[in-house]
Amino acid sequence: MATHRRIDVSKLGDVTIVRFLDKKILDEAGILELGAELFGLVEQDNRKSLLLNFVGVEFLSSAALGKLITLDRKVKSNKGRMKMSNIRPEILEVFQITKLNKIFDIRKDEAEALSAFA
């Protein structure tokens, strides 16, 4: 199991739950590292069901959104599913403006997202 500096990873049944350790996901180096950790879950660990819990995340840069789009593509090409939960209203607004809320499966909280995998 890889060591993660940017994310906390746990498993509940078949679902891999990812919580972000950074409140603000802004700087390029951090985003590159975050991307590598997230992509590793799909590419190396072969995780099929990912739940990204954004509890505690206050800000996401556009570069971070790019990583999430790439992650979503990797998960789908791996025949997996990805859901998101606990996104602050101001971040959710960015998802809506960019129409990413149409691409991502966004749920209110972790429990709702988990039940959506069933």
Tell me how far apart the alpha carbons of residues 83 and 51 are, in angstroms, rounded to a whole number: 5
pLDDT confidence tier of residue 1, bands split at 50, 70 and 90 = low
Determine the Cα–Cα distance for residues 15 and 6; give it in Å rounded to an integer.
19
Check: CATH 3.40.30.10 for 7-117?
A: no
In sequence order, which residues have a C-beta less than 8 Å from that of residue 42 and are 6 or more positions away? 50, 71, 74, 75, 78, 80
Strands 81-85 and 105-107 come out as: parallel
pLDDT tens-digit map of 26-74: 999 999 999 999 999 999 999 999 999 999 999 999 999 999 999 999 9
User: What are the domain boundaries of the chain?
Assistant: 7-117
Total number of residues shown for the chain:
118
pTM for the complete prediction?
0.95
